[in-house]
């Protein structure tokens, strides 16, 4: 600010608005406030304009500037807190509270560094999505809203059971447990999440008026060693998990279509479920020994199923009692050792509306109840599903 020669300070327009005698601008020093500043203007109210030219120690505006700087510091701090809360709100959509506590600590970058960890990975895929897209080709936003609601059900169950969201792949979600902190109960948490997702979709599937009516899910769970953390390029990265266990969980999810059950788990996960998951939360059924498409090593896969129906409770379609599981297990043992007549008899003790027994039944009938030469108990799967 300054006066033109031959005029007084009071006669010059110092600001963008008239009737002000002085003005100053104080920057707001904060990363969350780029380019922000506090602009203050006023009038002398009888004071001499020359006082503005006095040394800083005796300048009339000194206290005003200091107060404005203090307000700027407070504004910057409040804005920084707001931004951090907004970022945490975004992170909470992907991480459970336990994970958030770690990532909100003083060394968050180090916590995000990729490292090996023992994890349990869950893949959940939405069934019927492609058909719904074709049927709703003229109203894709409506279809997207329904898919978002479906992904919301998946996410809600993963996060509420202490998991982390690794990725969304179109109509599928991937969650994992065991990072950034070791979780002794990671298998139990993952299985509770999977059963919760199954129950949620079964509930809305019975309501013809619900937006998710007609949708089903397939879920695969696998446990093992993987690399977890911020994975990507220097320009862009995401928190995810990488390794063979991820591929296996995806394969198991694909196989739910072929084996006609909602949830499949690998052997390490099944062993942990038998040991740690309460019987009134979920149970395990050994399904079959298969050789997935494109793989040489056979896998023993198991189904994760809800608890046995309570005595006197209404029996839903496909529900299995503990006695049904015993009968199927006996059928599988006979099937593996090549006694297919015994296996077929045991399968007839399993309820006819159980889709999980169809693979064994159809394979036995396809081969005229006679094991092929060199029978090793393995059913080859001819496609990825």
**In the numeric block, which tokens belong to residue 345?**
């008899």
User: Between the ranges 70-74, 84-88, 115-119, where is the mean pLDDT highest?
Assistant: 115-119
The CA radius of gyration of the chain, in Å to the nearest whole number, is 32
What CA–CA distance (Å, rounded) separates 3 from 12? 6
Average pLDDT of the chain is 82
**In the numeric block, which tokens belong to residue 165?**
């969201």
Tell me the pLDDT tens digit for each residue of 332-363: 999 999 999 999 999 999 999 999 999 999 99
Share of residues in the chain with pLDDT > 90 (%): 44
What CA–CA distance (Å, rounded) separates 218 from 126? 7
How much is the pLDDT for 311?
73
Q: What one-character DSSP code corresponds to residue 215?
A: -
What CA–CA distance (Å, rounded) separates 329 from 327? 5
The better pLDDT of the pair 156, 10 is held by 156
What CA–CA distance (Å, rounded) separates 319 from 338? 28
What's the fold here for domain 111-276?
A: Alpha-Beta Plaits (3.30.70)
- Which residue, chain included where needed, has tokens 């709100």? 89
pTM: 0.73
Domain range summary for the chain, segments of one domain joined by +: 9-90, 111-276, 309-385
What CA–CA distance (Å, rounded) separates 372 from 33? 73
Tell whether the torsion through CA atoms of 116, 122, 128 and 132 is positive or negative: negative
Q: What is the mean pLDDT of residues 256-267?
A: 95
Do 263 and 221 contact (CB within 8 A), yes or no? Answer: yes
């Amino acid at each position: 600010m300054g006066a033109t020669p031959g005029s007084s300070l009071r006669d010059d327009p110092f600001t963008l608005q008239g009737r002000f005698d002085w003005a100053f601008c104080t920057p707001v020093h904060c990363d969350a406030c780029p380019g922000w500043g506090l602009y203050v203007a006023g009038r002398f109210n009888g004071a001499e304009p020359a006082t503005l030219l006095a040394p800083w120690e005796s300048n009339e505006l000194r206290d005003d500037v200091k107060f404005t700087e203090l307000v700027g510091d407070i504004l910057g701090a409040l804005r920084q807190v707001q931004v951090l809360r907004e970022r945490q709100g975004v992170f909470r959509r992907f991480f459970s509270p336990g994970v958030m506590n770690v990532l909100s600590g003083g060394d968050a970058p180090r916590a995000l560094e990729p490292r090996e960890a023992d994890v349990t990975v869950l893949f959940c895929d939405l069934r019927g999505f492609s058909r719904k897209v074709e049927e709703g080709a003229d109203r894709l936003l409506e279809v997207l809203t329904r898919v978002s609601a479906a992904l919301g059900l998946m996410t809600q169950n993963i996060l509420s059971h202490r998991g982390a969201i690794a990725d969304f792949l179109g109509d599928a979600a991937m969650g994992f447990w065991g990072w950034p902190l070791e979780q002794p109960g990671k298998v139990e948490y993952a299985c509770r999440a999977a059963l919760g997702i199954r129950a949620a979709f079964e509930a809305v599937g019975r309501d013809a008026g619900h937006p998710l009516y007609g949708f089903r899910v397939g879920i695969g769970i696998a446990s093992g060693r993987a690399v977890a953390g911020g994975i990507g390029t220097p320009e862009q990265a995401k928190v995810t998990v990488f390794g063979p266990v991820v591929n296996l969980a995806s394969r198991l999810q694909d196989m739910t279509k072929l084996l006609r059950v909602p949830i499949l788990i690998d052997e390490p996960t099944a062993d942990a479920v038998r040991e740690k998951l309460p019987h009134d939360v979920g149970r395990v059924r050994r399904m079959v020994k298969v050789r997935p498409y494109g793989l040489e090593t056979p896998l023993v896969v198991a189904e994760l199923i809800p608890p046995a129906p309570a005595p006197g409770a209404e029996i839903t379609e496909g529900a299995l009692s503990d006695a049904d599981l015993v009968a199927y297990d006996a059928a599988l043992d006979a099937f593996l050792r090549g006694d297919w007549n015994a296996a077929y008899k045991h399968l007839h003790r399993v309820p006819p509306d159980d889709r999980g027994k169809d693979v064994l039944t159809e394979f036995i009938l396809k081969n005229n109840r006679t094991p092929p030469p060199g029978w090793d108990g393995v059913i080859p799967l001819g496609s990825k599903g």
